[in-house]
A and B are shown apart, each in its own frame.
Chain A
Amino acid sequence: MRPALAVSAVTITVLLAGCSVRVGSVSAGVACRNTARVDNSVLVLLAQSVPTAQLIPCIASVPAGWRPAGLHVTNGRASFVVGSDRDGPKALTVALTRTCRITGATAVPSDVAGARRYERPRQVGHGYADDRYYVYTGGCTTYTFDLTGQSRAVPVTEVAQAIRFVQRTEVADLVRRMNDGRVVLDPTPERSPT
């Protein structure tokens, strides 16, 4: 094998492999509703990452100019990104965890039933945006803004309104319905000892 050929083969595969990994994960958006075309396994996966969380964040509708831009789910933490060309590729990161640190954040009236809301101002580019926390039974969802565009207030409300929460019970119903009642989301306590 000629070295030049070999080196280029390696470089190309490594680069291609790197890219395809990104494609694979980006294409998955966290849609709230279950339709024929959008199956909601992503929502199920999110619910699995924090098994105690009673509310699961998801994207209700993507506002014009915005797009889901990344999804990373592990045991204990799930996050997804919404971005746009105008306001930054990672304008909003939504992270679901069991708990979160809200020291220094102030409580504000909540717009989500069953969740307390906190905000903490943070410098973003040349302006400010509030990082936002929703704290509820068994979980916490953090909104981190990273806006690069000229204006702040408008895109913040716009993109924040795109995010909704679904009840864990709704996700559980979905799982049960999809499997004719024979598979459930969460184990019943007595059935699986740890």
Chain B
Amino acid sequence: MLVFSLLAALSSARLGNRLTRVDHVLLVGIANARTPALTDVCRAVSGLASALPIQILWVGMLAVLVFFRRWRHLVVAIVAMALTNAVTWNIAGVVRRPRPLGVNVLGRWEGFAMPSLPIAVFTALLVIALYCLVPHGRLRQYGKAAATVVIGLVGVARVYLAQDNPSDVLVGIVIGVTVPLVAFRLLVPSEVFPVSYRRRRTAHLEITGLRYQAICQALEAQLGVLPVRIEPFGLAGSGGSTPLRVTVKGDPDSFLFCKLYAANHLRSDRWYKLGRTLLYGGLEDEKAFNSVRRLVQYEDYALRVLHSARLPVPTPGGIVEITPEREYLLVMEFFDGAREIGEVTVDDDLIDQGLRIIRRMWEAGLAHRDIKPANLLVRDGRLLVIDSAFAQVRPSPWRQAVDLANMMLVLALRSDPHRVYRRAEQLFTTEEIAEAFAATRGLTMPTQLRRLMREQGRNLHAEFKKLLPYEVQPIAIQRWSWRRVVLMIAVVFAGFLGVFAVSQILTSPLS
């Protein structure tokens, strides 16, 4: 509002001229006080608000925001800077004020003078930095004082060098403060989105404050258990959910394993499936879930099916609603004292158990689809399967074959392919094993499995293939459809737009 009334006033020539005269008197006075030493100092200070320093600060700040995954701050910072720039340019284009008149201009300048673009952008940058990087409170207050001093010095230096009229600097400061301030106060209030320097993984939700209480209350009200402790558990092995261990009051206290799902998991699921569609086409069911409730219902259902097929999975404990349609908790038995298969020695007995689990799933018409070390636990010599998120009923033979190959690869990671292969021959025909390795290739293996094989420096997949009595032809897994083609084009287009936008964002806000 202030800016626009100012703009209206300035474009009226009379006031413009009066302002010019006031500015002129000040400028001439200052110019008469110029000394070579002072001029050097002012050149250096005014250089702070030039393209390169501003770009360095800008990109540095964006990098910090990306590193700490403060996406909301990042978005608002970019929007605020773009707006400051646009507002300043457009006002300058309307007011069309020349540079200071009647004095020697000593520094660089570009375009019309009112409002001062370098000052507006520099001020906006400091204000944005204060709201994005400095935690709310005493520190930010000090920061504001420091920023005021710096901006004041740069402004004085620019007036001294006659790069700007005094009033150009003032209007520049007003714009540079107002635009980001309004943006941040409205869109990222510090009370709701505090600036903190703890780095966290996006997929995992923090269990603190209100959410903690909500989970406690919901568990009590819906399952009738009395939680005494809720803590993150097994984050390292988790692929997408927020796994929790809940200590339940009793005699003695017992544990429950819970997986918290929220909208961000829904999104990862969507991206994951979009990625698969692009890579393979409609190879399997790649329909994304359209609500958190459905996502959790699916995993719970899959767990129940696995459980009733008498597979060694945790006993299902049902679903607890934390916030309707937004946050749900999947509850199941906690395998106390179980360790991931990667941490134990794998003997023939475990190998047999693993293979029998696959055989059992085949018989029951099920596929797990995420067989990897993090999803296989061992307790008291018993192999347990967890994580039914991707499990499927009546899968294609191809998918069943992939499960077998992945299980054999996991088992071989901690023993050796010969042994696993020999044990497998007892339960599966050579054709079945051959089919499994024909079906499996890099991308059908879970990322963790691939990474572990790479770390061991072994191509277990090739080693298994060599053990087969004959050579297998890889099964083609590419499926083409219009949907995929259209999606690919859309992604390429979005990619171009993205590259363009990013290049725009990273260039100096001054240019």
In the bound complex, residues from chain A placing their C-beta under 8 Å from that of B504 are 14, 18
Q: Is the interface of A mostly helix, strand, loop or mixed?
A: helix
Q: A1–B71 contact, CB under 8 A?
A: yes
Q: B90–A20 contact, CB under 8 A?
A: yes
In the bound complex, residues from chain B placing their C-beta under 8 Å from that of A175 are 101
Q: Is the interface of B mostly helix, strand, loop or mixed?
A: helix
B75 is an interface residue with CB less than 8 A from chain A:
yes
How many residue pairs between the two chains, A and B, have CB atoms under 8 Å in the bound complex?
125
Instruction: Report which of A1, A44, A74 forms a contact with B75, defined as CB distance below 8 A.
Output: A1
A193 is an interface residue with CB less than 8 A from chain B:
yes
Tell me, in angstroms, the Cα distance from A41 to B28 when the chains sit together. Answer: 20
Q: B109–A75 contact, CB under 8 A?
A: yes
Closest to A182 in B: B21
In the bound complex, residues from chain A placing their C-beta under 8 Å from that of B78 are 10, 13-14
Tell me, in angstroms, the Cα distance from A18 to B78 when the chains sit together. Answer: 13
Q: B501–A15 contact, CB under 8 A?
A: yes
Tell me, in angstroms, the Cα distance from A92 to B85 when the chains sit together. Answer: 29
Min CB–CB distance B31 → chain A (angstroms):
5
B311 is an interface residue with CB less than 8 A from chain A:
no
Query: For chain B residues 37-96, which have a beta carbon within 8 Å of chain A?
Result: 71-72, 75, 78-79, 82-83, 85-86, 89-90, 92-94, 96
* Given A25-B111, A41-B112, also A192-B104 (CB < 8 A): yes
Instruction: Report which of B31, B32, B86, B89 forms a contact with A25, defined as CB distance below 8 A.
Output: B89
Q: B105–A75 contact, CB under 8 A?
A: yes
Instruction: Report which of B32, B79, B497 forms a contact with A9, defined as CB distance below 8 A.
Output: B79
In the bound complex, residues from chain A placing their C-beta under 8 Å from that of B98 are 41, 44-45, 48
Q: Mark A13-30, 1 if CB is under 8 A from B, else 0.
A: 111111011011101100
Q: B101–A10 contact, CB under 8 A?
A: no
Min CB–CB distance B71 → chain A (angstroms):
7
Min CB–CB distance B260 → chain A (angstroms):
19
Min CB–CB distance B149 → chain A (angstroms):
27
Min CB–CB distance B305 → chain A (angstroms):
33
Q: A193–B101 contact, CB under 8 A?
A: no
Min CB–CB distance A53 → chain B (angstroms):
14
In the bound complex, residues from chain B placing their C-beta under 8 Å from that of A72 are 110-111
B17 is an interface residue with CB less than 8 A from chain A:
yes
A104 is an interface residue with CB less than 8 A from chain B:
no
B458 is an interface residue with CB less than 8 A from chain A:
no
Instruction: Report which of B13, B20, B92 forms a contact with A183, defined as CB distance below 8 A.
Output: B20
Q: A28–B93 contact, CB under 8 A?
A: yes
Tell me, in angstroms, the Cα distance from A193 to B107 when the chains sit together. Answer: 15
* Given A11-B497, A42-B96, A48-B105, also A16-B89 (CB < 8 A): no
Q: Return the 3 tightest CB-CB contacts between A and B, nearest first.
A: A24-B93, A17-B82, A44-B98
Q: List 28 A-B contacts (CB under 8 A).
A: A1-B75, A6-B71, A13-B79, A14-B504, A16-B82, A21-B86, A24-B90, A24-B92, A25-B111, A28-B93, A28-B96, A39-B96, A44-B98, A44-B101, A48-B98, A48-B101, A51-B104, A73-B110, A75-B110, A178-B17, A179-B17, A179-B21, A182-B21, A183-B21, A191-B32, A192-B103, A193-B34, A194-B106
Given contacts A13-B79, A178-B17, A183-B24, 7 further A-B contacts (CB under 8 A): A6-B72, A15-B501, A45-B99, A185-B102, A187-B104, A192-B31, A192-B32
